[in-house]
Structure 1
Amino acid sequence: MRIGLLVYGDMETLSGGYLYNRKLVSYLRRHGDDVTIISLPPRNYQRHLEDNFSNGCLQQIVAADLDILIQDAMVHPSVFLMNQRLSRQVKIPVVTLVHLLSTFDRHPWYSAWFYRAIERRYLQSVAGMIVNSQTTLAQTRQLLHKQLPPHCLAVPAGNNFPETSTDVDAIRQRALANGPLQILVVGNVIRRKGLHVLIQALRELPTEDFQVTVAGRLDMEPEYVKQVQKSIRAAQLQERVILKGPVQGQSLADLYQRHHLMVLPSAYESYGIVYVEAQQFGIPVIGTTAGAAGEIINHGDNGYLITPEDPQALAFLLQKLHDDRELLLTMSRNALAAYIRHPRWDQSCEIIRQYLYAGLDGV
């Protein structure tokens, strides 16, 4: 099958959504499909809306001679009107791959209706839909007033370190060892990921009880990064909170192996691939109740869920896990057990491939 994938920017972009895209493309190609990547330049929302009136993207799609086109739903402002011309002129099925719905992000009250209207119009313009979580599926159902197109659910996997085997004895030794609680944050340093909440929580704890490593890009929201760095200095935590910048591959695996706990108190997560990654290494995770983290984290069993922007609750849990290493060990074992039960990338990508093939004649 000749499949197109429409995205913004570079496919190697460091984020969970782009990782999902790369895994899907790799799987499809390994199974004999011809996949063409069509990339639109990343710009601001207003400029993306103008893309609907340009023929450049439409010409690229026509030239690719596709059987089906997958659109990463993040491109919705560029194509929500163009899809009507696409269906008339090219007559190929368009399927959206929904990682995150902008409608459910935080927008000022006076503009929220606008984003909702654009995204609803976009979802109504496609013939099919791939969603990454039960939470995202419920949100699309709400946005479309239960009028969903043919769809499939394929959750992201966490088996991103196939060469790494988890040593159960090492997990025990790590959990019970004396010393500070080693806390890992894996996520780009943007406000939505909630690093400021963690820093506020740490200010309530003895500094000798914790050590934090943050692995993620520092260039996406420069002003927010400056605020975080200022907060770290004000709390005199420069030696206790280390911003390493982006970390990938074996270097990231090494970080997972050296830490007790992952904390990502996001304002919202549409899924959270890094939660599953952490579980491969027997690491419990503290996330929030906003979004799909609850589909991965079983509160009190393999991690904890707190409400967003609640540093007091986070501080309590961090101190609890520092003081009770047997509890930390139990949760670490439970995290590993949860990872073992979780689907692998090949399973999720095969769900999508079967959906594309089964639906080609019907959408």
Structure 2
Amino acid sequence: MTTLIPKRLVFIVAGALEQPTGGYRYDARIIAGLQAAGWQIDTRMLDGHFPCPDETAHAALDTALSACADDATVVIDGLACGGLPEVIERHAARLTIIVLVHHPLCDETGLDRTTAERLESSERRVLACARRVIVTSIHTRDRLQALKMTDCPARVAEPGVDTRDVQGTRVRPRECAGGPWRLLCVATLIPRKGHDVLLDALAQMTDLDWHCDLVGSLDRDPAHARDIEQTIFRKNLADRITLHGALDAAQLEACYAAADVFVLASHYEGYGMVVTEAIAAGLPVVTTTGGALADTLPAGAGCSVTPGDATAFARSLRRLMTDRAWYDSTCTAVLRARHALPGWDDATHAFAAALETPNTVGGRP
């Protein structure tokens, strides 16, 4: 009788895996999916500050890699390694290092030029050591190619959605909702997510009856979160906007169920998981064309405007709220689109295929 040797890998992330962001939720779902498929996963969560690492981060990654047996397969989230090329270079010869890139670190909104250039250079060195690169969107794959960060095209494993959400949610007829329009934005309060643009847009729409729920961690950039809170008061929107902070899964599901429209004014996304999650929940979307968002939003399921253009964002949202025929046609498109969304089983299969398909980028020949 032949005994199959389980597939094994080490999966390294920056900080706690349970953090409520798209990137961490992607990592967690992929890890869970691989485990369900028979993989043995050793998850290592690193202390320290990322992606501009402090000494704690440097030591944590070096310790995690030093503990890996020779020839071990190690998947590292790009946030955890993109700023630490010297550590990756030290271990690349004896490990099969695979880097998971959600978006290039240098594309983060709000970086000064020196920091952006340093991150671009360091991430290029890291990817040169990787035996394989996996990305979460075609846009990120193409962006890495444009930046000349990889010698070979990266493998794409796009996120999935919970199929129970697709089958269990129905688009709510607007006339049955009653009360103000419920707008929902799910995004960590960091500059890239464009909350300031969203607030500028909403301030142009105070003649309409609406309430907006902002859901997302306030801890990633506390100074920016305070600025957003102050802007809400300065624009006299405090009675129209609820700043929830991070919510658990049940609370977030309740927010999706209560909403009429999903709004996201991000300057840039490597994929934009919340957009597909909104579609799965049956919500029309108003967003931007920042990064992969231009491709993530299904045709007809909402509207995308140029990042940073609050007036265009307000105009599109106003039309959705005042033109009943357009709202109805958008809801119909959402219904069509959500049944075509891939599930997490599909995402896990794509990720496993990317792990198993030879595609040497750097590291050992």
Q: Same fold (TM over 0.5)?
A: yes
Alpha-carbon deviations, 1:135-158, whole Å to 9, x = none?
100011122266226x42111112
Greater mean alpha carbon deviation, residues 306-315 or residues 109-118 = 109-118
Closer/same/farther in 2, CA of residues 48 and 115 from structure 1, 3 Å limit: farther
Contact kept, 8 Å, 2:82 with 2:105, in 1: the verdict is no
Q: Which residue of 2 aligns with 1:61?
A: 68
Q: CA deviation at 1:66?
A: 6.5
Partners of 1:209 and 1:232 lie apart in 2 by 17
Which of 144, 151, 158 is the equivalent residue of 1:147?
151
Partners of 1:66 and 1:360 lie apart in 2 by 16
Q: Which residue of 1 aligns with 2:318?
A: 319
What amino acid is aligned across from residue 69 of structure 1 in structure 2? V
After superposition, residues 274-353 of structure 1 pair within 5 angstroms as 274-298=274-298, 301-353=300-352
| Structure 2 residue 200 is the aligned partner of structure 1 residue 200 | yes
Partners of 2:208 and 2:131 lie apart in 1 by 56
Contact kept, 8 Å, 2:49 with 2:57, in 1: the verdict is no
Aligned to 1:81, the other structure's residue is in SS state helix
Q: Which residue of 1 aligns with 2:89?
A: 84
Partners of 1:123 and 1:179 lie apart in 2 by 51
Closer/same/farther in 2, CA of residues 132 and 161 from structure 1, 3 Å limit: same
| Structure 2 residue 18 is the aligned partner of structure 1 residue 9 | no
Gap regions ≥5 residues in structure 1? none
Identity %: 26
Closer/same/farther in 2, CA of residues 282 and 58 from structure 1, 3 Å limit: closer
Q: CA deviation at 1:9?
A: 0.8
Q: Which residue of 2 aligns with 1:99?
A: 102
| Structure 2 residue 76 is the aligned partner of structure 1 residue 71 | yes
Partners of 1:117 and 1:296 lie apart in 2 by 28
Aligned to 1:20, the other structure's residue is in SS state helix
Aligned to 2:43, the other structure's residue is in SS state strand
Closer/same/farther in 2, CA of residues 200 and 145 from structure 1, 3 Å limit: closer
Q: Which residue of 1 aligns with 2:141?
A: 137
Contact kept, 8 Å, 2:72 with 2:95, in 1: the verdict is yes
Q: CA deviation at 1:248?
A: 2.8
Partners of 2:186 and 2:245 lie apart in 1 by 10
| Structure 2 residue 51 is the aligned partner of structure 1 residue 51 | no
Q: CA deviation at 1:343?
A: 1.3
Closer/same/farther in 2, CA of residues 303 and 53 from structure 1, 3 Å limit: closer
Q: CA deviation at 1:79?
A: 4.1
Partners of 1:77 and 1:197 lie apart in 2 by 29
What amino acid is aligned across from residue 115 of structure 1 in structure 2? L
Partners of 1:239 and 1:232 lie apart in 2 by 9
Closer/same/farther in 2, CA of residues 39 and 290 from structure 1, 3 Å limit: same
Q: Which residue of 1 aligns with 2:128?
A: 124
Alpha-carbon deviations, 1:282-332, whole Å to 9, x = none?
111122111101112146x11111112211111111221111123112212
Closer/same/farther in 2, CA of residues 217 and 175 from structure 1, 3 Å limit: farther
Partners of 2:17 and 2:35 lie apart in 1 by 15
Q: CA deviation at 1:82?
A: 2.4
| Structure 2 residue 33 is the aligned partner of structure 1 residue 27 | yes
RMSD across aligned positions (CA): 2.5
- TM-score normalised by L of structure 1: 0.89
What amino acid is aligned across from residue 108 of structure 2 in structure 1? D
Contact kept, 8 Å, 1:4 with 1:69, in 2: the verdict is yes
Alpha-carbon deviations, 1:254-294, whole Å to 9, x = none?
21121111111011111111101110121111221111011
Q: CA deviation at 1:336?
A: 2.7
Partners of 2:21 and 2:293 lie apart in 1 by 16
After superposition, residues 173-212 of structure 1 pair within 5 angstroms as 173-174=173-174, 177=177, 179-212=179-212
Partners of 1:49 and 1:104 lie apart in 2 by 24
Q: CA deviation at 1:162?
A: 4.6
Aligned to 2:168, the other structure's residue is in SS state coil
Which of 114, 139, 145 is the equivalent residue of 1:110?
114
Closer/same/farther in 2, CA of residues 197 and 347 from structure 1, 3 Å limit: same
The answer to which structure has the higher helix fraction is 1
Q: CA deviation at 1:24?
A: 0.9
- TM-score normalised by L of structure 2: 0.89
Aligned to 1:185, the other structure's residue is in SS state strand
